[in-house]
Structure 1
Amino acid sequence: AATAAAAAVFVAVGLLRGWGPGQLTIGALCSSYVNAGNLGIPIAVYVLGDASLVAPVLLFQQIVVTPLALTVLDLSRPDEPRSLLRRLTTPLRNPMALGSLSGVAVAATGWTVPAPALEPLTLIGNMSVPAVLLAFGISLRGSGVPARGENRPAIVLSAVLKTAFQPVVAWGIGAGVFHLHEAALLDVVVTSALPAAQNLYTYASQYRVAEQLARESILLSTLGSVPALITVAALLG
C-alpha cells in the first residue's frame, strides 16, 4: 500500500507537469521501489533480526512491480508499431519477469535443478549485484552536484517521497489499518524506509530514459535513508 501511494503521488504530480511516460515510470519506481536485496537483507538481519522479512517485498517487486514498469517502458518506446498480440505478451517476454517466475516455480514444486544447468545461472546471479553497483558508481563520475538542471523537480520529489513519505505512509497504514504494534510495525516501517534500489538505474540506462533522474534520485535517497532509518529505529525500536 505504501508502494502504491508513493508511486501514485509521483505520477499525479508528473501528469500535472506534463512529464513523459519514461520519466513518470522511472520516477514512480525511484519513489517507491526499495533496495530489498543488497541493503535490505543485511539491514533486516542487523536491525530486525530476520532476513526473511524482506522476502515478500523482494517477490512483490520482482514479480509484480518490475514486470508492470518494464512493460510500460517497452510499450512507450518510439519503435515501429507492434501487433496487439506482441503488446499483450510483452510482460511474458521480459527476462526479469521470466527469471522471477521461474524461481518461484522451482521453489513451489520442490524440483532440484541439475548442477550443470544451475552452475552458470549461479555464476550470473553472483555477479549481478556487483555489476549493478559498478555500473551505478561509474555513472556518478563527472555527474556533478545532484538535483540540478531541468530534472531537478522530479529528482527532489522522488527522493523525498522515497525517504520520508513512503515510511510515514507505511507507519500510518500499519498502525491505523492493520493495527500492527512494536516489532511488526518496526518491520514494516524499516523496510519502507530503505532507499531506492540501484537496479532502477539499470532499467533507465537499458531503455535510455530518465537516466539522470534514476541516478541522482537513488543517490539522494541512499544518503537520506541513513537518518531516516536511525529515526525509525529510535522512535519504534
Structure 2
Amino acid sequence: MTDLFATVGKLAPVVLVFGGGVVFARRKIIGADASKAFSEFAFLFAIPCYLFGSLYASDLGRLFDVRGMLAYLSAAVIAMALVAVGARRVLGADARATALRIMATVQVNTTYFAIPVFVLLFGDASPIFPTILLQVCVFTVVVVAVMESGAGHQDQDVSAARAVLRGVRSALTTPLVLACYLGIGANLLHVPAPGPLLAALSFTGAAAAPVALFAFGLHLGGSGLRWRGATRDEYALIAIKCLAMPLLVFALCVGVFRVENPWLSYLVLTAAMPAPQNLFVFAQRYDADVDLAASVVAKTTLAALALIPLWLLVTR
C-alpha cells in the first residue's frame, strides 16, 4: 500500500497540470481554443528540442533494447490482427473505420502524455523514443496506407499510390520525427555540439511536459466527455487499449522474450498510455467515426491516469 501511495504521489504533478487545464477551460479563465497555441508550441518546438538534446546525449546501445522492442512489436502485430478481424467481421467496418480502430489500440499518445509522464516518473523520457520511431515509421505508415486506399479517390488528379506516399512523407517529416533522426545521427557521427546550444535545448525542452499536459487539459475541459450513449465498440477499444495491450506486452516480455526491468516497466507503461491525440485528426481527415475517436482519446486518457500506478506495481 505504501508503494501504491508513493507511485500515486509521483503522478501528482501530472494530475495538477492536466487538471489545471481542465479547470481553466471550464471556468473560462483561458478559452479552450487557446489549447491549439499551447499544443503547437509543445509539438513544433519544445518537444523536438527535448528529443534532439536527449537523443544526442543518450547511450543508444542502452536505449534501443532489441528484445524489448521485439516484444512490443509482436504485441502490436497481434493486437492489430485481432482488432482488424473483429472490426471487419463483428462490426462490418470498412477499411478506414478498421484502420482507425487499429490506430486507437496500438498507438499511444507520446507527445502530449507519455513523454510528460515518463519525465515525471523516471526523470527521463528517452525510453519512449524507440516507440516513437516505431509508431511513426511503421504503425502510422500502415494506417495512412489503409486510410488512403479506402478514401474513395476523392481527388481524381492524385493516384492512390501517390496519395499514400504523400501521407507517409508527411508523417515522417514532422518536427518530432526529424528531431529524433537528427539527434540519433549527430550521436552516431559524434558531431560536436556547443555547450550553449545544448543548454538552450535543455531549457526549452523543460517546458515541454507541463505545456503539453496543460494544453491537453484545456482541450478536454472545453470539449467535455460523452458518457451516455456510448457504444460497446467504444468501451471495447478503451478496454483493449488500457488493459489488454499492456497485459499482452507484459506476457510477451516475461514469458517469451525474457525482458527484465527497467525495460519491462518502460514497455508495459508505454503500452498503457492513452490513444494518440492525432486519432481525432485522422478521423476528421478521412471522415471516419469522428465522435468515436474524440471520445476514445479522452476516456483512455482518464483511464491511463487511474491505471498507471497499478501497472508500475505489477512490473516491479
Q: TM-score, normalised by structure 2?
A: 0.60
CA RMSD in angstroms comes to 3.0
Rg larger in structure:
2
Counterpart of 2:148 in structure 1 is 74
Q: 1:227 to 1:88 in 2, by over 3 A?
A: closer
* SS of equivalent to 1:230: helix
Q: 1:129 to 1:74 in 2, by over 3 A?
A: farther
Counterpart of 1:15 in structure 2 is 88
Q: 1:7 to 1:132 in 2, by over 3 A?
A: farther
Q: Report how far residue 89 of structure 1 moved.
A: 3.4
Counterpart of 2:135 in structure 1 is 61
Q: 1:179 to 1:229 in 2, by over 3 A?
A: same
Question: Which whole-Å deviations, capped at 9, do the CAs of 1:47-91 have from their partners, x for residues lacking one?
Answer: 234310001111111222112212211221122565465366345
2:130 is the counterpart of 1:42? no
CA contact (8 A) 1:40 1:54 kept: yes
Counterpart of 2:196 in structure 1 is none
2:219 is the counterpart of 1:140? no
Counterpart of 1:96 in structure 2 is 171
Q: 1:61 to 1:85 in 2, by over 3 A?
A: closer
Counterpart of 2:162 in structure 1 is 86
CA contact (8 A) 1:132 1:199 kept: no
Question: What is the CA–CA distance in structure 1 between the aligned matches of 2:132 and 2:228, rounded to whole Å?
Answer: 28
Gaps of 5+ in 2: 1-73, 194-203
Counterpart of 2:275 in structure 1 is 196
Counterpart of 1:6 in structure 2 is 79
Question: What is the CA–CA distance in structure 2 between the aligned matches of 1:131 and 1:209, rounded to whole Å?
Answer: 28
Q: 1:3 to 1:234 in 2, by over 3 A?
A: same
* SS of equivalent to 1:182: coil
Counterpart of 1:180 in structure 2 is 259
CA contact (8 A) 1:195 1:222 kept: yes
* SS of equivalent to 1:89: helix
CA contact (8 A) 1:44 1:50 kept: yes
Of residues 176-185 and 208-217 in structure 1, the stretch that sits farther from structure 2 once superposed is 176-185
* SS of equivalent to 1:31: helix
Q: TM-score, normalised by structure 1?
A: 0.78
Q: Report how far residue 3 of structure 1 moved.
A: 2.2
> How does 1:100-119 map onto structure 2 within 5 Å?
102-103=178-179, 105-107=181-183, 109-110=185-186
Q: 1:26 to 1:183 in 2, by over 3 A?
A: same
Q: 1:108 to 1:195 in 2, by over 3 A?
A: closer
Question: What is the CA–CA distance in structure 2 between the aligned matches of 1:5 and 1:30, rounded to whole Å?
Answer: 14
Question: What is the CA–CA distance in structure 2 between the aligned matches of 1:105 and 1:235, rounded to whole Å?
Answer: 33
Q: 1:31 to 1:67 in 2, by over 3 A?
A: same
Q: 1:140 to 1:85 in 2, by over 3 A?
A: closer
Counterpart of 1:157 in structure 2 is 236
CA contact (8 A) 1:195 1:225 kept: yes
